[in-house]
A and B are shown apart, each in its own frame.
Chain A
Amino acid sequence: MKRLTALILTFGTCASLYAQDGDAKSFNIDGFIYTVAALSAIGVLCAVILYFVAQKFKVYEDPRIDAVEGVLPGANCGGCGCAGCRAFAETCVKKGDLSTLQCPVGGNAVMSQIADILGVKAATASPRVAVVRCNGSCTARPRTNRYDGAASCAIEAALYGGDTACQYGCLGHGDCVTACLFNAISINPDTGLPEVDDDACTACGACVKACPKRLIELRKKAPKNRKIYVACRNSDKGATARKACNVACIGCSKCLKACPHEAITVENFLAYIDSDKCKLCRKCVTECSTNSIRELNFPPRKVAVSDAATTPEKTAETVTDTI
């Protein structure tokens, strides 16, 4: 474009100079006309050339891509598995089938909008939220040594198991905090553990990838942000795990027996609650002998000691009803 402008200016100057040669003394209206005419002619010529060039190298782009990109959140977080929102929009249009695609940030609302644009059906996915599965705070997990290297979980994890006897637990340098684009995770200074702001979390999964200990899981979001999960990833034998941390799961399987919904599995001395099967009945929480199962955002329990056998069932029913 710069070259073209320079060319036009040169032509224009030449033309006016030529006109001035004819009669240099007075104002030369002819020179002015020549200049304007020459410039216009060049302009028209270029426009024609550019038109044909544009036609020749035309790339057809589906207008729906722009439309789809318009409804996407524009966070470019990569949670969908594509390199940014534009790439996701292209994938949606190219595939024409939304059954395997999901924008975790926009959720079902955005996916149904995309489905409307493309004229297909969107698969509804239940919204998810990041959960940190470690509760080994500074008080629960005694230190056995002191790490003084670079403040990065990935670097510490590459060096050794960590500064407590639990090699599975949170290292607390906040690689997940750095990875989060939505300011949804912060380290609690009292416990030294990361905490997720459920309303800000979009379940993009960046923290899941950043955590070298694989502590963070995307779990199904329940009403009022209620959640029940095993806040432990220690797969050592019970005695070793307990020695390292007061709130470690020792794999005693009591919760497994208590769960009426078959949501709990125990493998390698470690219990796991499947959030898709869990009905939030809270029976496992009372069973847990090491308090490694956490319940969050529930109303306080009204259980009296005398009728402890019957009340939890009632609570379970009421909770299930509300869902």
Chain B
Amino acid sequence: MLKTFTKGGVHPPENKLSAARAIETAALPTSVFIPLGQHIGAPATPTVKKGDRVKVGSKIGQPAGFVSAGIHSSVSGVVSKLDAAPDSSGYPKPGIFIDVEGDEWEEDIDRTDTLISDFNIDGPAIIAKISNAGIVGMGGATFPTHVKLAPPPNSKAEILLINGVECEPYLTADHRLMLEKSRETVVGIRLLMCALGVTKAAVGIENNKPDAIAAMRKAATDGIEIVPLKVKYPQGGEKQLIKAVTGREVPSGALPIAVGAVVSNVGTAFAVYEAVQKNKPLIERIVTVTGKSLAQPSNFRTRIGTPLSALIVAAGGMPSNTGKIVCGGPMMGRAIASAEMPVTKGTSGILLLDADESTRPQTLNCIRCARCVEACPMSLEPYLLTAVSEKQLWERAENENIMDCIECGSCSFTCPAARPLLDYIRLGKATVGSIIRNRKK
């Protein structure tokens, strides 16, 4: 019997179209736009100005505060301007435009593919290197990794959980990474264990990726356990993964560290390997470009700041019947208004939905069938949260634990009346969140 989390969850069609396609290196773009705020927390402060020459890996943004991350140039060339442009948040955000000239790297970066598995470095030094490389959670939440690795003083990490679940339909970036870079990823996991001071790590991988499980099992060293999991969405959610792998339940409103766990993505582990062993800051990531009508659904290793449109062209061009471009997976991704947006540290995939797939069906009345209650992995009552958010009963929403919602979208997915449940819950969550923050002041 395979492990999984107990409460709720759904099983959307997997549609892993690009699973068999090896990671390709995307062509260098002619110009990049690197937003300063690619992470949760304060946006970085630019350290370059118009006309400056930069190399691949040069630091171009300094972290502004503890919960922030540095930004590095992903290309070599000239800074053409510092301006705002729309990113996947849907609003213009400040960033740095660089015109690409050649491909000149900073000298201390090791660009070879040779595996360096041994390290002789202590925890704080690893964290310093991670912080310096601007590494953030690559699963999509983009929380600065060096902050995650420094748990509050009164808590102690016991186990490192690595998220190789990739429960989002369509996306295959983590799958391919585990398959092709399993040994590097394992070194990254060991580095993270050393930084946290733990001796145990577990990698959760869903059972629909048997090749990745085998590859990771082969590469795994002492103390690293590979845990195959039953396929169920949203297993990649932090709390769900902890429940599935360790059986522990994170209390409402608490962080995973409350049960002694720290969760990181496989992509983050690989980035940590590159940063510590190869001196390479976070300037590249693997992006799945997929869609049912796309000619060649692919996985690209691409520079941060590359326009999404360039990747779509490399995957065979935008199909004529595209109805929606989604940045991320179909469950948690955001529909974007134009493909002229950059790849950021948190872009795990680009999904082109056909027009007929993407239109929302007509919304009908709620008949209290409670399918959303059954599907909710956080034991909430989505129909109720939606109703109180719609009626702006914020106090009630708070009492119904709206802040526990992880925005996985299982409720909206399962609703037979096609009600925009998550839309309203998100609105309620944002409002209640700001009420709580104002109260604390």
User: Is A155 within 8 A of B338, CB to CB?
Assistant: no
B119 within 8 A of A: no
Q: List, in ascending order, chain B residues with CB within 8 A of A167's CB.
A: 91-92
Whether A160 contacts B424 in the complex (CB less than 8 A), given A144-B337, A145-B338, A148-B360, comes out as: no
In the docked arrangement, what's the CA distance between A99 and B147, Å? Answer: 50
Interface residues on B, range: 10 to 19
B181 within 8 A of A: no
In the docked arrangement, what's the CA distance between A77 and B50, Å? Answer: 52
B19 to chain A, nearest CB (A): 30
Q: Which of B337-364 contact A (CB under 8 A)?
A: 337-338, 359-360
A8 to chain B, nearest CB (A): 42
A71 within 8 A of B: no
User: Is A161 within 8 A of B359, CB to CB?
Assistant: no
Q: List, in ascending order, chain B residues with CB within 8 A of A163's CB.
A: 337
Q: B431's closest neighbor in chain A, by CB? A: A154
User: Is B90 within 8 A of A160, CB to CB?
Assistant: yes
In the docked arrangement, what's the CA distance between A26 and B420, Å? Answer: 78
A305 within 8 A of B: no
Q: List, in ascending order, chain A residues with CB within 8 A of B91's CB.
A: 160-161, 167
What does the 1/0 interface line of B73-91 toward A look like (CB < 8 Å)? 0000000000000100111
User: Is B423 within 8 A of A149, CB to CB?
Assistant: yes
User: Is B420 within 8 A of A159, CB to CB?
Assistant: no
Q: B324's closest neighbor in chain A, by CB? A: A148
A251 to chain B, nearest CB (A): 16
Q: List, in ascending order, chain A residues with CB within 8 A of B424's CB.
A: 150, 152, 155
User: Is B359 within 8 A of A148, CB to CB?
Assistant: yes
User: Is B426 within 8 A of A155, CB to CB?
Assistant: yes
B334 within 8 A of A: yes
A308 within 8 A of B: no
B27 within 8 A of A: no
Q: B422's closest neighbor in chain A, by CB? A: A150
Q: List, in ascending order, chain B residues with CB within 8 A of A159's CB.
A: 90, 334-335
B330 to chain A, nearest CB (A): 15
B430 to chain A, nearest CB (A): 6
B336 within 8 A of A: yes
Q: List, in ascending order, chain B residues with CB within 8 A of A144's CB.
A: 337-338
B427 within 8 A of A: yes
Whether A149 contacts B90 in the complex (CB less than 8 A), given A155-B426, A158-B430, comes out as: no
User: Is A158 within 8 A of B338, CB to CB?
Assistant: no
Q: List, in ascending order, chain B residues with CB within 8 A of A161's CB.
A: 86, 90-92, 337
Q: List, in ascending order, chain A residues with CB within 8 A of B359's CB.
A: 148
B350 to chain A, nearest CB (A): 16
Other-chain residue from B86, B89, B92, B420 in contact with A149 (beta carbon distance below 8 A): B420
Other-chain residue from A145, A150, A160 in contact with B423 (beta carbon distance below 8 A): A150
Provide a sorted-by-A list of 11 A–B residue pairs whose CB atoms are within 8 angstroms.
Answer: A145-B338, A150-B424, A152-B423, A152-B424, A155-B424, A158-B430, A160-B89, A160-B91, A160-B337, A161-B91, A163-B337
Instruction: Give me 18 other A-B pairs in contact (C-beta within 8 A), A150-B423, A161-B86 excluded.
Output: A148-B360, A149-B360, A150-B420, A152-B423, A152-B424, A154-B427, A158-B426, A158-B430, A159-B90, A159-B334, A160-B90, A160-B334, A160-B336, A160-B337, A161-B92, A161-B337, A163-B337, A167-B92
In the A-B complex, the 7 residue pairs with the closest CB atoms: A160-B90, A150-B420, A150-B423, A145-B337, A155-B423, A155-B427, A148-B360
